[in-house]
Structure 1
Amino acid sequence: MSSTRSRGPSLVVRFYLIAFNALSAAGWAYVIYLALAVFRGQRASSSVHDFFKPLASYVPTSIVALLIPQPKSTNNFSTTLAYFLHSYIPATYESTFSALAPVQSLAALEILHVLFGFVRSPLPTTVVQVSSRLILIWGIVERFPNTHLSPVYTTMILAWALTEVPRYAYYALSLAGCGVPSWLTWMRYSTFYVLYPIGAGSEALVMLSTISEWSNGKWAVWSTEDRVKAGLVAIWVPGLWVMYSHMMRMRRKVLGVGKGQKLGAKPKDRLKAE
């Protein structure tokens, strides 16, 4: 049994994982393209974009809307922040969400990959990362229209996408056995130093923008949901540190800092790296 595990996943599972990672990398690359098109002042209109629109309707948007009314809560801090950032960072919700929603929702399969033993990633880390993003997409952004015009929505999805394209591409090439370029390995295990704080900070600010006003004692009449979201925002910093620590350990393992391992060398266990 141990020798079988050391050889990695079966051929069928390997082909499936290659397809999953390649599709995910392509999807996130397309999200970047759509966002940058807005920065260039272009409208995202193509047959590929039209293909994504019906996909977004298959996820439980209508169910969420029926069960939980769409509120319009916001606060002065978030409104002021958005006002100053709008001059530099455009809103990209209308151009990107129809592609972002199915691409990010597809990541829920990563939890099943761990449960079924397809990969050896740590389950708690995988669950936290995937579920937090799904909550932001379907529990926050989809329900609160004020986030659709928020510049921190743009920084959030760009941080996600710029992290995920190298990650999924790295896994796809590793599983295919065709060699991973050293620059891609470096990107996979180095860009998190910048992208994780931007992504996590944007996530917290997006959620914060959906909390009712708290100044002048108004927090005392917060709804239960507002209090829960405020608690989630409060744990974003320690949560970021957990992810940071995990990635720093993986970086030392893969890049072999101080262990004589060359940049871009194959990790001891490609599927265990996350």
Structure 2
Amino acid sequence: MSNVNKLPNARRAPSPVVRCYLIVFNALSAAGWAYIIYLALSVIIDQRASSSAYDFLKPLVSYVPTSIVTLFSPQPTATNQFSNTLTSILRPYIPATHNSTFFALAPVQSLAALEIIHVLLGLVRSPLPTTVIQVSSRLILVWGIIERFPHTHSSPLYTTMILAWALTEVPRHAYYTLLLAGYGVPIWLTWIRYSTFYILYPIGAVSEALVMLTAWGLEDWVKAGLVAIWAPGLWVMYAHMMHMRRRVFGVNEGRKSREKPKDRAKAK
């Protein structure tokens, strides 16, 4: 699932400093998510990523407090039969990619927490509720579930989840990088940014919920409650993106659909 990172109101353009900052933020985010796609695909096609790039970037995650949650509770090791069965079915087709991608996923997804601050400071006009839902749900998964529960590391659903995230985020951040930089955004990139969510959102939401279910422990009921809100949360994000897509594409399409046959003939 992905929130919308819209530009400030056209009547009040961002200052040069803010614009430069947002360009750098979106460009770095797009590059980070693209690198995650590369790492995941390199595992899927049975090819190792460049060792030099891996060795250069892997130490970055050491600066992130990867054990914040475990300071307050012991490391859980629970799993369940449903998760084991599902994993055994999917693993021949979708490999686990945690060992090759988490070192990059952790800092890239954590960087997205700045998007909430952007909204609060008025740097962008994204709706706060959808931004909070998007960012907080992913941070819970990255730090509260994946980093904390080792059994999730071997799940193919981790792979489908991060690919759904990355394939959503690369076009989104690339779109806003070009828009903020003043370059023309290609129509194909606009179409991808406002159309692929139809497929990627359900894949991402289902994968997220099932990844959570692979980590049953002392907090079973809490996690069950979180999973229960995934469906309405998906609908909120889905409806928001459909609204945004209509705003981008729907004006001319709606006008054509409302024209009477005679009007169309006259226009021709």
Secondary structure, aligned partner of 1:62: coil
- % identity of equivalent residues: 74
Q: CA RMSD in A?
A: 1.5
What are the Cα deviations for residues 4-29 of structure 1, in whole angstroms up to 9, with x where unaligned? 96132111100100010001000000
Whichever residue aligns with residue 126 of structure 2, its letter is: S
Aligned counterpart in structure 1 of residue 27 of structure 2, from 18, 22, 28: 22
Long gaps (5+) in structure 2: 1-8, 257-268
Amino acid at match of 1:250: M
Aligned with 1:181 (options 156, 163, 186): 186
1:84 to 70, 89, 93: 89
TM-aligned CA deviation for residue 260 of structure 1: 5.1
Which string of whole-angstrom CA distances, capped at 9 and with x for unpartnered residues, describes residues 95-139 of structure 1? 000011100000000011111111010111101100110010000
Question: Is contact 1:72–1:145 with CA below 8 Å preserved after alignment?
Answer: yes
Which residue is equivalent to 1:52? 57
Across the two proteins, how many residue pairs are aligned to each other?
A: 247
Q: Which amino acid counterpart does residue 119 of structure 2 have in structure 1?
A: V
Q: Does 1:150 align with 2:155?
A: yes
Amino acid at match of 1:245: A
> How is 1:80-159 mapped onto 2 (pairs within 5 angstroms)?
80-159=85-164
* Structure 1: distance between partners of 2:56 and 2:142: 19
Name the amino acid aligned to 1:169.
Answer: A
Cα distance in 2 for partners of 1:172, 1:255 equals 20
Letter in 2 for 1:170: Y
Q: 2:205: which partner in 1?
A: 200
Deviation at 1:60, TM superposition (A): 2.0
- Residue 43 of structure 1 and its aligned partner are, at CA, apart by 1.9
Higher-RCO chain (CA-CA 8 Å, sequence separation at least 6): 2
- Is 1:236 equivalent to 2:213 in the alignment? no
Hey, what does 1:253 align to over in structure 2? 247
Partner of 1:268: none
**Structure 1 match to 2:261:** none
Is 1:75–2:69 an aligned residue pair? no
Secondary structure in structure 2 of the residue aligned to 1:90: coil
What is the TM-score normalised by the length of structure 1? 0.87
Structure 1 alignment gaps of length 5 or more: 213-222, 262-274
